[in-house]
Amino acid sequence: LNTKVCRLTSHGHVKARITTMMSNAIFSSSAFRAFELQCCQLQKIDLAGLSVNQRTMYFCNVYNMLMVHAIIVKGIPGTVLKERVSFMKSSKYNLNGMIFSLLDIEHGILRNSSSRGMFFGPLSPLPSMVTFSDRDPRKQLALTEPKPLISFSLFTASSFSPVLAVLRDANNIAHELE
């Protein structure tokens, strides 16, 4: 596991050991193995039949689940922008036969390549990093209307991150995102 997580605290070594021990305990548990098997079921969901609100809810929840899953497997992403971007590019799920990274979900789907996002909060120096080509089937899943409140639902494992939450009601997505 990557335990360079804790450079921000004065007790970095202690926190890194605790984080590693907790991650190892989670990683070796039967519950985690069952969770990983359940993640495989994401490959079977027909994304084309989802409404805009259902896609918003689905991709926000998958993003958060993938972020937590990647943290357990790889460790908490670094605070250096290059490390964080690498983490987000390399953390991927197969969703209905299409491969999505954290960057693809946040910038290509939820933000439709229209915003800077939350790498280190709303003042990120990076422009949008994901643009799907017209031939890419993932482009048809992108939200067409901007939803600025998306930022408050994406757990980014940074000091600017909102708390981890699960969106549950696609019919009331505006309220869910608040």
Name the helix (H) or strand (E) containing 101: strand 98-101
pTM comes to: 0.81
What 3-state DSSP class applies to 5?
helix
Could you list the pLDDT tens digit for every one of the 178 residues in the chain?
333 332 233 333 334 444 566 767 887 889 988 988 888 888 889 998 899 999 999 999 999 999 999 988 888 888 888 888 889 999 999 999 999 999 999 999 998 876 554 444 444 545 456 788 899 999 999 998 888 899 899 998 888 888 888 999 999 998 888 8
**Per-residue pLDDT reduced to its tens digit, 109-121:** 998 876 554 444 4
Rounded to whole angstroms, the Cα distance separating 4 from 78 reads 7
- Cα separation, 10 vs 8, in Å, equals 7
**Is the Cβ–Cβ distance between 151 and 178 less than 8 Å?**
no
DSSP assignment of 102-165: HHIIIIIIISTT-S---SSSTT-S--------TT-GGGGGS-SS--GGGGGT---SSTTPPPP-
Residues 142 and 112 sit within 8 Å (Cβ to Cβ):
yes
How is residue 15 annotated by DSSP? H
C-alpha distance from residue 147 to each of 37, 113, 150 (Å): 32, 12, 6
Rounded CA separation 56/161 (Å):
18
Q: How far apart are CA 120 and CA 69, in angstroms?
A: 20
Secondary-structure percent of the chain, ordered helix, strand, coil, rounded to 5: 55, 5, 40
What distance in Å separates the CA atoms of residue 111 and residue 99, rounded to the nearest whole number? 17
Tens of pLDDT, residues 47-80: 988 999 999 999 999 999 999 999 888 888 888 8
Length of the chain as a residue count: 178
